[in-house]
């Protein structure tokens, strides 16, 4: 992994080394042709052409390196590349508790309903530059427009959160008596922490380029992961393993225990709980294969007396390419967040 203090464009010395190599190649080419001026022969022709080709190729490398460091501004699905790290350095600001929102104050103002959004990278706004354009921010803005000063919304979401993590957050909020409502954003990979270790994608231990530091070249890092992840068995099998988790009685039973824990915590603290279920946009379409997983989740929550907002109908008929942040990242884009916000406002807050 890159050091946590690595700047958005990487270390300047690393970048300048590309220009240093380019300058050395150009100077060497110029010196070669100057030294062999007026001379003929196959060796001069081959060596000269090789140097010119090398100069052109390295110019392309420098251009690509510059583009990926300072122009390209997109996330990737698994959060591995330096370009992904650069995006987060540019666009993500965390509060003192590590959440992408303003500072949270436990004390409540009289007459104000406080709403906590709890979820993983979907609710966090992964790939969304302005967090106000993610669905928690959109819902908060709409509530404030309808009833100024009557609602306060907070986003307690983080990439990689499982239902277990979300249960812990809900428990902490309930203990402080600081929240009136919880909107839990559920993604179908939320049981990840319950899967066997050989069936989970470990971002921190994914294979790195073996012969140099990740921070040295954004280009090499970008190409490595684009090619490496295509053949990674943990990437190829990821969605099938997620589906199998819902059919495994042990894993699903433990996941339902977390549902019960969240529901019981909210009930004991008189917190209203609503659950929003997102589809897997990576596999979204007419042949969507995770309907049975949605049904299991909805039935489990409804058995606990919790209202479930299943977003499948809201996204029906919209191509996956129109709902994701980019072709390498299947997190919801601004359009998908807006659709989710409208569904939540209508179902949970009666705002249409």
> 129 and 176: one domain?
yes
Percent of the chain with pLDDT over 70: 96
Burial pattern 211-249, b for ≥16 Cβ within 10 A else e, equals eeebbbbbbbbbebbeeebeeeeeeeebbebbeebbebe
For the stretch 288-303, pLDDT in tens is 999 999 999 999 999 9
**Nearest Cα to 82, choosing from 19, 160, 3?**
3
Q: 202 with 195: CB under 8 angstroms?
A: no
- Where does the chain show beta strands of DSSP type E? 113-119, 151-157, 181-186, 272-277, 307-310, 324-326, 329-332
Domain for residue 7, yes or no? no
The CATH number of the domain holding residue 234 is 3.40.50.1110
Give the residue with greater pLDDT, 203 vs 317.
317
Phi-psi region of 350 (alpha: psi -120 to 50; beta: other; left: phi over 0): left
Domain for residue 5, yes or no? no
> 53 and 98: one domain?
no
Report whether pLDDT(177) > 70: yes
Domain count, the chain: 2
Give the per-residue pLDDT at 45: 86
**Cα–Cα distance for residue pair 134/343, rounded to 1 Å:** 13
Domain for residue 250, yes or no? yes
What band does 204 get if pLDDT is binned at 50, 70 and 90?
low
Domain for residue 54, yes or no? yes
Domain for residue 164, yes or no? yes
Domain for residue 325, yes or no? yes
**Cα–Cα distance for residue pair 114/181, rounded to 1 Å:** 6
How much is the mean pLDDT over the chain? 92
> 56 and 129: one domain?
no
**Nearest Cα to 161, choosing from 117, 196, 193?**
193
Where is the domain boundary, 70, 97, 115? 70
Going by C-beta distance under 8 Å and a sequence separation of 6 or more, which residues neighbour residue 260?
Answer: 304
> 251 and 166: one domain?
yes
Where is the domain boundary, 22, 39, 70? 70
What band does 202 get if pLDDT is binned at 50, 70 and 90?
low
Where is the domain boundary, 44, 70, 96? 70
pTM of the model: 0.92
> 41 and 121: one domain?
no
Give the per-residue pLDDT at 203: 64
Report whether pLDDT(236) > 80: no
Give the per-residue pLDDT at 82: 94
Instruction: State both tokens at 350.
Output: 């009666």
Give the per-residue pLDDT at 181: 97
Report whether pLDDT(200) > 90: no
For the stretch 125-155, pLDDT in tens is 999 999 999 999 999 999 999 999 999 999 9
3-class DSSP state for residue 308? strand
> 160 and 296: one domain?
yes
Give the per-residue pLDDT at 37: 83
- Phi, psi (degrees; rounded to nearest 5) at 120: -105, -145
Burial pattern 281-298, b for ≥16 Cβ within 10 A else e, equals bebbeeebebeebbebbb
Q: 178 with 106: CB under 8 angstroms?
A: yes
**Cα–Cα distance for residue pair 211/310, rounded to 1 Å:** 47
> 66 and 126: one domain?
no
Domain for residue 77, yes or no? no
For the stretch 27-77, pLDDT in tens is 999 999 888 887 778 888 888 899 999 999 999 999 999 999 999 999 998
Domain for residue 169, yes or no? yes
Structural domain range at position 27 = 12-70
Report whether pLDDT(230) > 80: no
Give the per-residue pLDDT at 69: 97
**Cα–Cα distance for residue pair 349/117, rounded to 1 Å:** 14
**Cα–Cα distance for residue pair 277/280, rounded to 1 Å:** 10
What band does 258 get if pLDDT is binned at 50, 70 and 90?
very high
> 88 and 66: one domain?
no
CA Rg value for the chain? 25
> 29 and 161: one domain?
no
> 232 and 333: one domain?
yes
What band does 318 get if pLDDT is binned at 50, 70 and 90?
very high
Give the per-residue pLDDT at 237: 62
Any idea what the Cα angle at residue 168 is, between residues 166 and 169, rounded to 5°? 65
> 282 and 228: one domain?
yes
> 169 and 279: one domain?
yes
Report whether pLDDT(206) > 80: no
Strand partners, 117: 155, 183
**Nearest Cα to 329, choosing from 321, 337, 338?**
321
3-state secondary structure 138-195: HHHHHHHHHCCCCEEEEEEECCCCCHHHHHHHHHHHHHHCCCCEEEEEECCCCCHHHC
What band does 211 get if pLDDT is binned at 50, 70 and 90?
confident
């Amino acid at each position: 992994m890159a050091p946590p203090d690595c700047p958005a464009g990487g270390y300047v010395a690393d970048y300048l080394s590309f220009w240093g190599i380019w300058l050395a190649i150009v100077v060497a080419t110029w010196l070669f042709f100057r030294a062999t001026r007026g001379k003929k022969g196959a060796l001069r022709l081959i060596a000269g052409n090789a140097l010119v080709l090398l100069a052109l190729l390295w110019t392309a490398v420098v251009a690509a390196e510059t583009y990926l460091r300072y122009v390209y501004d997109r996330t990737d699905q698994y959060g591995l590349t330096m370009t992904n790290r650069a995006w987060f350095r540019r666009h993500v600001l965390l509060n003192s508790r590590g959440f992408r929102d303003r500072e949270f104050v436990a004390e409540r103002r009289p007459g104000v309903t406080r709403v906590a959004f709890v979820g993983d990278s979907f609710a966090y706004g992964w790939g969304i530059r302005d967090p106000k354009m993610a669905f928690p921010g959109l819902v908060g803005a709409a509530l404030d427009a309808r009833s100024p000063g009557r609602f306060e919304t907070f986003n307690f979401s983080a990439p990689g959160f499982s239902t277990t993590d979300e249960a812990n957050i809900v428990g902490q909020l309930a203990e402080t008596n600081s929240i009136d409502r919880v909107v839990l954003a559920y993604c179908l990979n939320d049981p990840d922490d319950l899967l066997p270790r050989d069936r989970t994608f470990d971002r921190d231990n994914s294979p790195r380029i073996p012969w140099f530091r990740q921070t040295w070249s954004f280009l090499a890092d970008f190409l490595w992961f684009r090619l490496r992840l295509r053949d990674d068995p943990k990437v190829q099998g990821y969605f099938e393993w997620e589906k199998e988790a819902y059919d495994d009685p042990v894993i699903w039973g433990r996941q339902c225990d977390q549902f019960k824990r969240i529901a019981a915590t909210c009930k004991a603290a008189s917190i209203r709980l609503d659950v929003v279920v997102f589809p897997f946009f990576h596999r979204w379409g007419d042949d969507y294969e995770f309907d049975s997983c949605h049904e299991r989740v909805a039935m489990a929550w409804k058995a606990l007396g919790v209202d479930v907002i299943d977003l499948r109908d809201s996204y029906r008929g919209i191509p996956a390419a129109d709902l994701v942040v980019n072709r390498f990242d299947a997190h919801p884009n601004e359009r998908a967040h807006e659709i989710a916000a409208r569904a939540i406002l209508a179902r949970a807050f009666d705002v249409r």
